[in-house]
Structure 1
Amino acid sequence: MNKNERYIAIAVGVLLLIGAAVYYQFRQKETVKQAFAPDSTVYSKQDYTTLVLDSTVLASFFASRSLADSLQSDVRSFYQRRGYQYAWFSENRLANAANNFNNLRQSYISDFADSSLYNAEIDRLVNEAETQGTKFLANKVEVQTLELLLTTAFFQYADKAYAGTVKDLLDLEWFIPRKKKNFQALLDTLVMAKGQPIREPVNRYYTLLKEKLRQYRLLQQQGGWPKLEFEGKAPKKGDEDSTVLVLKQNLHRWGDLKTLDSTSIFDDSVAVALKRFQHRMGLSETGKLDEKTLVEMNRPVEERIRQMMLNMERLRWVPDELEPNMLLVNIPEYRLHVFENGVQSWMSKVVVGKEATKTSIFKGNLSYVVLNPYWVVTNNIINNEILPKLKRNPGYLERNNMEVVSGNKVINPYSVKWSSYTKNVPYTIRQKPGKGNSLGKVKFLFPNSYSIYLHDTPSKSLFGETARAFSHGCIRVSEPEKLALHVLKSLPEWNEEKLNAVWKTQNEKWITVRPSLPVYIVYFTTWVDNTGQLNFRRDLYGLDSALAKEVFGEQ
């Protein structure tokens, strides 16, 4: 290679290096630029408005505010999908959706007395946007700020109002799976709804209870209700007493007394209203001012509001739409609810677990009906209740129609040295079908890890109690025959006649339920029933107290 050719080669090499450097810098800028670029695979090609954010504004907005990474990600994703087009403004005005959302946010702050969602800057800017019109729109910085503040506030609001606590629900003894809600789609719907109300992602029980919460907030603003106190005995039907007027006023406030008069006579209308109140509290419906009724009447409005807020938190964990055909047991209510085609068709009393042997909160699928069931005794009951009796006399088993099984073989209880065991007996103990069997004539199985099921019981008298927490965890049903017919109605051959024919024997019979039936075991101490009445119950397992630590930050 001659001298001139070497110079040409060097010059070409330098040009290539400069070109590569320029290209690298260009690609770096493109990479930074693309960090906030829209996802063209979604719907960014659609034109919502001619107003478009500069993607770098997002970075500046995030840098100026302390926002969680997850919140930043939500906001960024929302704008990426819409090609950075504005959501809360049209070309010439603040969109109706902005006012619609702002009303939702302010209602939540008022309903739940939650100042964490209060934002004075949003309120100021919304007010200026409405009153100044085009003058406000000319201020690009203010418009961009309000746009991003509203979007950020929406995701903060949605987490509070619809998702609920982020704590592991297993710590709160709630084992029903919680479905993740799509707040991106909800915001899309909100901003495209042209100011029309949107369907909030909550179930109807939440909505009903929220209306009652607002009524009680109003009562709170009015000073609540006076405490009922008596110098001597509480007035009874036929008495005339000055305190009866206070009683009437309170019953009228709560909706139990339909017509209020100014007399102080304890008449029939007061007795009927008292029965309504007692029914809503799960008390004996005597129409009398007994001690338990007075305790519930004298609970202050603030306590009732807290109770509603706690149960609304639980309702946020429940799916927006429940299956139209299902069974639901509410533990503090001691009731089984049967739903057909989305409507409650009937209810039945139940007995649930004692505080020491709580009934678990979970969802299952009822798959089997067992007629004339064996009762397989749990290890806990064997260790704590049966083993001490067997050590004294193995004849206990025969007297109670029980047997000892090893594998598939029934063995003689007198051949076992029971005194050598303190726990973990290596045998199955079961009670044979027949009169006196602890599971009665039928059990309903929805396989779960808590060994809980629904069943009949020979102890019918317990259904006469108002508080029915007596079991070892399983749920005893007061109308098992009716429930069996309902669960098996998809199998017409299993009619009442055929069921009775099996029940006349002592032979165990398993029936597969197809399709399986969803069963929810839940825990609500306040709710609105299918007649629109607000109910309250005692916190049987202390779970309201545990949840209050999470919701209200109490120790």
Structure 2
Amino acid sequence: MGIAGRNTPGLRAALIAMTLGMGGVLPGVLAVVAPTPAAAQQFPAFRQALAEGVAENRELAAFYRENGYQAVWTRAEDAARRTALVSALSRAGEHGLPVARYDLPGLLSAFGSVETERDRGLVEARASMTFLQYARDIHSGVLDPGELIADIVRELPRPDPTQLMTDLIASEPVSFIRNLAPSSPEYARLFRAKRELEQTIANGGWGPQVQAGSLRPGDTGASVVQLRNRLIAMGFMPRVATASYDGQMQRAVQDFQESVAIEADGIAGSATIDAINTAPQERLRSITVALERERWLNIPRGDRHIWVNLTDFVVRIVDFDQVTFETRSVIGARANQTPEFSDQMEYMDINPTWTLPRSIIGEYWAALSSGGANHLNLLDGSGRVVPREYVDFAAYTPSNFPFDVQQPPGPGNALGEVKFMFPNAYAIYLHDTPSRSLFGNRVRAYSHGCVRLADPRDFAYALLARQETDPVTYYHAIQRTGRLTRVPLLEPVPVHLVYRTAYTSVTGQMNYRADIYGRDARLYDALISAGVEVGA
């Protein structure tokens, strides 16, 4: 393609026709005409400008070299591709992306200002750079979370720029660009929830807050009406005229309580009232961060996978987007936070030993060095037990102690009777525990980082059912031996340790959890700094 000289009538006429043909959606977008022989000699100017424009992106520069500097965006036959890109950029804010980063007005102005082949080469480069930035952001996230929070050790599925460009020119552009976003059902549900909540905010929100410390069945009055109206606006009650806290309202309160992890007793106590009075703008912030987090996990989840939502204190087995098993959990304390990452669960150890991590030997040092902690063994480099009397504790500190400290299998073992392993660099796994009382607490952040299970036997049965006809009998036959036994999972199961303060049920119902580690607050601030706009 070329432009026949400067300010040609044909170019301007084509521009007007193109703009009108698009219903005014793309004002100023480059209109293109077939090159005249005189314009052909200007092609080197296009190639030179394009090469300059993409020089900072090695992969993109290589792509254009490989394809002989053929245009992707700026020829007559590229109109559908231009339209698809501009349409996607115009909706970037709906996904919680930083609209200003893509500078759509500037891109449109650049297209509309093309008068020379050099101009065209520069706008070609700009369109490709913008496309790659958008594709990266919507596919796998605006942020690089590990640079912000050390405990987010997730490897992002960043798309390859060369492959993106290659696939783009070989595909129907609208569907290709649309499919860059995560295809998970959760992303689609969060996207809808964000759009609906933005509309609610635009229409005035959920109405007046409930002016009461607590309410319970049988109560009447203005505060009950406020509670009723909030529940209706949030979708927990149908439109009714009742002014009393009746059975229907009690059930609605229970449903709401379940959505925010409050004991579902149907009584609107202070915690429930505070949660009901939470502004929709705050919930929108949580959904915006959840969308970003979902982009980081734009990978195959596994038809069966284990979902560990740290903020929820629950471990779930998910089969084809349906929760088929769940159990309460205890996660890392705020001083020993559980990291976020994905891996493959490969085996379980029944009757496990517990080798103390080096980071916590100091907690046992006084007892070890004074002859106590007799439930722990010292092991040399060959795994042999070293008698305590042969060790001069005064010669060592917890940091240079040359022996492993290990607790053998038994009823008091810190890992209980089974642990579930997905070997990783962070020494994180799921396990049983003899400390059962903590599972009764609403907030369960107490461990050194690993995840404790309230129902480890049932969890083991559920995993073994895929490979044993009688998983219960099989499990207990091993457990009764009292010996450490490793049981491989014949089909390793993906396990995802995630942190979601906003997530949906399969029906689309939003659930919200507290930001126990303060991670989402930091991520939200980073998104705002990156240019994401969230409704006020």
For the aligned pair, the TM-score class normalised by the smaller chain equals 0.7 to 0.9
For residue 409 of structure 1, give the secondary structure of its aligned residue in structure 2: coil
Residues 245/532 of structure 1: CA separation in 2 closer, same or farther (3 Å cut): same
Whether contact under 8 Å (1:337, 1:344) holds in the other structure is: yes
What residue number does 2:296 align with?
317
Alignment of 1:163-202 (within 5 A): 163-165=140-142, 167=144, 169=146, 171-172=148-149, 173-182=151-160, 192-193=171-172, 195=174, 198-202=178-182
What residue number does 1:104 align with?
88
What residue number does 2:281 align with?
302
Identity between Structure 1 and Structure 2 (%): 23
Residues 462/145 of structure 1: CA separation in 2 closer, same or farther (3 Å cut): same
What residue number does 1:84 align with?
70
Whether contact under 8 Å (1:457, 1:477) holds in the other structure is: yes
1:402 aligned to 376, 382, 397, which one?
A: 376
Deviations, residues 302-327 of structure 1 (Å, cap 9, x unaligned): 22222222222222221342222322
Greater shift in the superposed pair: 349-358 or 323-332:
323-332
Whether contact under 8 Å (1:325, 1:341) holds in the other structure is: yes
Residues 549/75 of structure 1: CA separation in 2 closer, same or farther (3 Å cut): farther
Residues 59/408 of structure 1: CA separation in 2 closer, same or farther (3 Å cut): closer
Structure-2 separation of matches of 1:409 and 1:466: 42
Structure-1 separation of matches of 2:195 and 2:33: 40
Q: 1:331 Cα shift?
A: 0.9
Whether contact under 8 Å (1:75, 1:152) holds in the other structure is: no
What residue number does 2:314 align with?
335
Deviations, residues 478-529 of structure 1 (Å, cap 9, x unaligned): 2222222333345437732122122223222122333432222122221223
Structure-1 separation of matches of 2:299 and 2:384: 49
Residues 69/274 of structure 1: CA separation in 2 closer, same or farther (3 Å cut): farther
Residues 234/543 of structure 1: CA separation in 2 closer, same or farther (3 Å cut): same
What residue number does 2:264 align with?
285
Deviations, residues 370-414 of structure 1 (Å, cap 9, x unaligned): 111122222333212x2223455x3442xxx43333444334446
What residue number does 1:466 align with?
442
What residue number does 2:479 align with?
503
Q: Which amino acid aligns with 1:374?
A: T
Q: 1:145 Cα shift?
A: 8.7
Structure-1 separation of matches of 2:513 and 2:295: 19
1:210 aligned to 187, 191, 200, which one?
A: 191
What residue number does 2:521 align with?
545
Is 1:534 matched up with 2:510?
yes
Structure-2 separation of matches of 1:515 and 1:221: 49
Residues 139/405 of structure 1: CA separation in 2 closer, same or farther (3 Å cut): closer
Q: 1:95 Cα shift?
A: 4.1
What residue number does 2:201 align with?
220
Q: Which amino acid aligns with 1:217?
A: E
Alignment of 1:58-137 (within 5 A): 59-60=48-49, 69-70=55-56, 74=60, 77=63, 81=67, 84=70, 87=73, 95-112=79-96, 114-120=99-105
Normalised to the residue count of structure 1, the TM-score between the two structures is 0.76
For residue 159 of structure 1, give the secondary structure of its aligned residue in structure 2: helix
What residue number does 1:517 align with?
493
Normalised to the residue count of structure 2, the TM-score between the two structures is 0.78
Structure-2 separation of matches of 1:434 and 1:463: 21
Greater shift in the superposed pair: 541-550 or 214-223:
541-550
Whether contact under 8 Å (1:525, 1:538) holds in the other structure is: yes
Larger relative contact order, structure 1 or 2 (CA cutoff 8 Å, min sep 6): 2
Q: Which amino acid aligns with 1:300?
A: A
Deviations, residues 211-258 of structure 1 (Å, cap 9, x unaligned): 11111111221232345243x64222111121222222222222222x
Gaps of 5+ in 2: 1-31, 531-536
Deviations, residues 40-99 of structure 1 (Å, cap 9, x unaligned): xxxxxxxxx996894633544787xxx6744696388369638725557656xx845544
Q: How many residues align?
A: 486
Alignment of 1:340-489 (within 5 A): 340=319, 343-384=322-363, 386-391=364-369, 394-397=371-374, 401-406=375-380, 407-413=382-388, 416=391, 418=393, 421-424=396-399, 425-489=401-465
Structure-2 separation of matches of 1:341 and 1:212: 21
For residue 115 of structure 1, give the secondary structure of its aligned residue in structure 2: helix
Residues 147/248 of structure 1: CA separation in 2 closer, same or farther (3 Å cut): farther
2:133 aligned to 156, 162, 168, which one?
A: 156
Whether contact under 8 Å (2:136, 2:158) holds in the other structure is: no
Residues 168/498 of structure 1: CA separation in 2 closer, same or farther (3 Å cut): closer
Pick the structure with greater CA Rg.
1
